[in-house]
């Protein structure tokens, strides 16, 4: 009896940034930007907010996965990369691979691996299923990579750089916004799932460890992580914009331009779970409770609106004083 073809784990990374364009991308523009595979259509969703998802394209890999307290495991196969545009304003590169045990402990021809996009096979000896899943997740999220390690970061970075440099984008973004990274690992846990553990590693990097119920939910985990990454990015960019606005005098033109851009271009994009598959939508419940994603966003948008109102009042008051003096 051969090894199980059920994935041991799914590994991925999502990079999120502002579309470098002055205008919102509508369906035609987004579809043209995301046409990564000739002859395959870009998926489009209109409600409740627009979502465009490119077809997946493969990247061949023959490398190692870090295993804590053990020799690295060699894997061969493909990483699936795709691009996403949310609300015509947020651009993402999203890459993932499902790791399975190889039927034979030797490398096959590339045609074998290309027939299954987004699957890598472990051809090294590896422990039992429970040990292997946890070791692969720990190695990916916390291990020390080397030049021979599977590098999803570089694959996602190259894809995002290609998209951002597209000549159809005028590079006139309405506000400055950093790029964030969400690294994720997901395993099948049956009745234990769905569960999520989210960690903020630094100002721009986050790590997510997910347990899902069934194998089909592993693909849903990628869509959940893209949705999660958008909302984490919105909070990150909103906080950074307020910090940047504070560098200028209160009610100054520079401060108002920053705050108004956040409200105009990002304020309407907050829809946690709207594009998450139904089976994993429950993961948002914990995020809403702790750390309280929507509470943070509501407070942030309230602060932006209050500052703009105060500035408007201040300018009106100064205008009244000037006219009275002149009179």
Alpha-helix residue ranges (DSSP H) falling in the chain: 27-33, 110-114, 129-142, 152-164, 216-245, 253-265, 283-289, 293-326
Cα–Cα dist 8/182, whole Å: 20
Mean of the per-residue pLDDT values of the chain? 91
Closest CA to 84 of 139, 162, 160: 160
Full pLDDT tens readout for the chain, 327 residues = 455 678 999 999 999 999 999 999 999 999 999 999 988 999 999 999 999 999 999 999 999 999 988 889 999 999 999 999 999 999 999 999 999 999 888 899 999 999 999 999 999 888 777 788 889 999 999 988 888 999 999 999 999 999 999 999 999 999 999 999 999 999 999 888 799 999 999 999 999 999 999 999 998 999 999 999 999 999 999 999 999 999 988 878 888 999 999 999 999 999 999 999 999 999 999 899 888 999 999 999 999 999 898 888 877 777 644 343 343
**Phi/psi of residue 316, nearest 5 degrees:** -65, -45
Q: Most distant CA pair in the chain: distance in Å?
A: 96
- Annotate 144-158 with b (16+ C-beta within 10 A) or e (fewer): ebeeebbbbeebbbe
Q: Residue 96 pairs with which residues in a beta bridge?
A: 12, 80
Tokens of 269: 């994009």
Q: How confident is the model at residue 324, as a pLDDT?
A: 34
What Rg do the C-alpha atoms of the chain give, in angstroms?
23
CA 211 to chain centre: 18
CB neighbours (10 Å) of residue 312?
A: 12
Q: What is the pLDDT of residues 45-65, one digit of tens each?
A: 999 999 999 999 999 999 999
Q: Are strands 43-45 and 195-200 parallel, antiparallel or unpaired?
A: unpaired
Q: What is the pLDDT of residue 164?
A: 97
Give the angle subtended at the CA of 75 by the CAs of 193 and 98, to the nearest 5°. 30
Q: How far apart are CA 114 and CA 105, in angstroms?
A: 18
Q: Tell me, what's the pLDDT at 3?
A: 58
pLDDT at 44: 96
Q: Looking at residue 312, what is its pLDDT?
A: 81
Please tell me the number of Cα atoms within 13 Å of 233 on its side-chain side.
27
| 116-130 confidence digits (pLDDT tens) | 999 999 998 887 777
């Amino acid at each position: 009896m051969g090894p199980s073809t059920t994935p041991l784990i799914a590994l991925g990374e999502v990079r999120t940034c502002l579309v470098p364009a002055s205008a919102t991308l509508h369906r035609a523009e987004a579809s043209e930007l995301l046409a990564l595979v000739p002859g395959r259509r870009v998926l489009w969703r209109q409600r409740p907010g627009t979502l465009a998802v490119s077809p997946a394209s493969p990247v061949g890999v023959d490398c190692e996965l870090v295993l804590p307290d053990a020799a690295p495991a060699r894997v061969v196969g493909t990483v699936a990369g795709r691009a996403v545009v949310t609300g015509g304003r947020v651009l993402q590169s999203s890459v993932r691979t499902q790791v399975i045990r190889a039927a034979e402990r030797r490398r096959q021809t590339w045609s074998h691996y290309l027939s299954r996009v987004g699957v890598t096979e472990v051809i090294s000896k590896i422990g039992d299923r429970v040990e292997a899943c946890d070791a692969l997740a720990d190695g990916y999220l916390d291990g020390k990579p080397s030049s021979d390690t599977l590098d999803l970061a570089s694959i996602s970075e190259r894809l995002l750089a290609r998209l951002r440099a597209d000549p159809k984008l005028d590079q006139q973004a309405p506000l400055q916004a950093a790029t964030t990274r969400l690294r994720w690992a997901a395993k099948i846990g049956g009745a234990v799932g769905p569960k999520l553990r989210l960690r903020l590693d630094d100002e721009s990097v986050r790590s997510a460890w997910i347990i899902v119920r069934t194998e089909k939910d592993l693909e849903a985990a990628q869509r959940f992580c893209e949705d999660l990454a958008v909302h984490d990015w919105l909070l990150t960019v909103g906080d950074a914009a307020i910090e940047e606005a504070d560098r200028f005098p209160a009610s100054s033109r520079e401060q108002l331009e920053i705050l108004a851009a956040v409200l105009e271009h990002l304020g309407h994009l907050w829809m946690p779970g709207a594009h998450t598959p139904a089976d994993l939508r429950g993961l948002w419940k914990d995020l809403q409770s702790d750390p309280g994603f929507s509470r943070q966003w509501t407070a942030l948008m309230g602060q932006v609106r209050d500052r703009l109102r105060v500035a408007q009042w201040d300018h009106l008051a100064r205008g009244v004083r000037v006219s009275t003096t002149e009179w």
